[in-house]
């Protein structure tokens, strides 16, 4: 089978920033005198939209204006960290994106990040060298959080993609579940945190140079 469309998760997949999000949430929690266990952090903070995370952290609904303020606060902390360490795209990503572009393969991003970070990524990383901003699928407050597959099925519709000929790249456990539920032709796990608990039944890579080019035409 050859593939002609690629959908990328972003955080932890194209951009290995999981540790920075974790640190930003730690500072946010400290600022608001919230204490949660490591197990709760794994359950609450990973693979979910900010709106859902805040609802769980504050144990109930929050006014929309306060939600926006909290999101801005946390993401500002995160973005400053990214700039301070001059964070770059993951190993091999630029070459792989250039390959897809030169080969005429369709590709886009489907991310749980909100618009405030999508804009930041495009400006900070110059993503418009490869991606069409208008075709990026992001957390707009309406798309369901992973492991629901909606973010990936929406990206397929945006790209006018045939699921059986689509490849999805993901890093997290909930993201893998969402990707598989979208029923693409292939799911590839990006092991950006050197986890030993690898998903079964799908390939796992630690460098984009290892993606087999021959599966694309």
Verify that 66 and 109 share a domain, yes or no: no
Verify that 76 and 180 share a domain, yes or no: no
CA–CA distance, 30 with 104 (Å, rounded to integer)? 47
The tally of domains found in the chain comes to 2
Verify that 103 and 210 share a domain, yes or no: yes
Q: Are 47 and 174 in contact (CB under 8 A)?
A: yes
76: containing domain: 18-85
**Minimum mean pLDDT range among 17-26, 46-55, 132-141:** 46-55
* pLDDT, tens digit (0-9, with 9 covering 90-100), for 88-103: 999 999 999 999 999 9
Out of 67, 85, 103, a domain closes at 85
Mean pLDDT in residue range 127-145: 95
CA–CA distance, 155 with 135 (Å, rounded to integer)? 8
pLDDT exceeds 70 at position 86: yes
Question: Given this model, what pLDDT does residue 52 score?
Answer: 87
For residue 147, whether the previous peptide bond is cis, meaning omega lies within 30 degrees of 0, is yes
* pLDDT, tens digit (0-9, with 9 covering 90-100), for 148-176: 999 999 999 999 999 999 999 999 888 99
Out of 29, 51, 85, a domain closes at 85
Verify that 92 and 165 share a domain, yes or no: yes
The CATH number for 195's domain is 3.40.50.1000
CA–CA distance, 146 with 194 (Å, rounded to integer)? 22
Verify that 103 and 77 share a domain, yes or no: no
Q: What share of the chain is helix, strand, coil (3-state, %, to 5)?
A: 50, 15, 35
Q: Are 6 and 106 in contact (CB under 8 A)?
A: yes
Can you give the pTM of this predicted structure? 0.92
Verify that 66 and 158 share a domain, yes or no: no
Verify that 99 and 202 share a domain, yes or no: yes
CA–CA distance, 136 with 110 (Å, rounded to integer)? 6
Verify that 113 and 134 share a domain, yes or no: yes
Q: Are 92 and 205 in contact (CB under 8 A)?
A: no
The CATH number for 27's domain is 1.10.150
Q: Are 178 and 137 in contact (CB under 8 A)?
A: no
Out of 50, 67, 85, a domain closes at 85
Q: Give the C-alpha distances (Å, rounded to integers) separating 104 from 109, 156, 202, 216, 217.
A: 16, 17, 25, 10, 8
Question: Given this model, what pLDDT does residue 32 score?
Answer: 95
* pLDDT, tens digit (0-9, with 9 covering 90-100), for 26-66: 999 999 999 988 788 777 887 678 988 998 899 888 898 99
Find where tokens 């998903």 sit.
Answer: 199
């Amino acid at each position: 089978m050859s593939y002609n469309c690629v959908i990328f998760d972003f955080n932890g997949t194209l951009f290995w920033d999981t540790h920075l999000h974790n640190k930003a949430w730690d500072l946010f929690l400290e600022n608001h005198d919230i204490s949660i266990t490591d197990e709760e952090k794994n359950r609450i903070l990973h693979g979910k939209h900010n709106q859902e995370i805040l609802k769980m952290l504050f144990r109930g609904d929050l006014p929309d204006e306060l939600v926006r303020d909290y999101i801005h606060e946390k993401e500002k902390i995160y973005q400053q960290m990214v700039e301070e360490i001059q964070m770059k795209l993951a190993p091999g990503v630029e070459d792989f994106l250039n390959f897809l572009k030169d080969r005429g393969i369709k590709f886009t991003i489907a991310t749980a990040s909100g618009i405030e970070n999508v804009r930041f990524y495009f400006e900070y990383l110059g993503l418009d060298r490869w991606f069409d901003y208008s075709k990026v699928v992001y957390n707009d407050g309406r798309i369901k959080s992973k492991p629901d597959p909606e973010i990936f099925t929406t990206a397929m519709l945006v790209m006018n993609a045939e699921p059986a000929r689509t490849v999805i790249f993901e890093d997290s456990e909930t993201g893998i579940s969402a990707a598989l539920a979208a029923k693409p032709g292939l799911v590839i796990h990006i092991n950006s945190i050197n986890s030993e608990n690898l998903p079964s039944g799908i390939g796992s890579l630690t460098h984009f140079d290892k993606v087999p080019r021959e599966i694309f035409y």
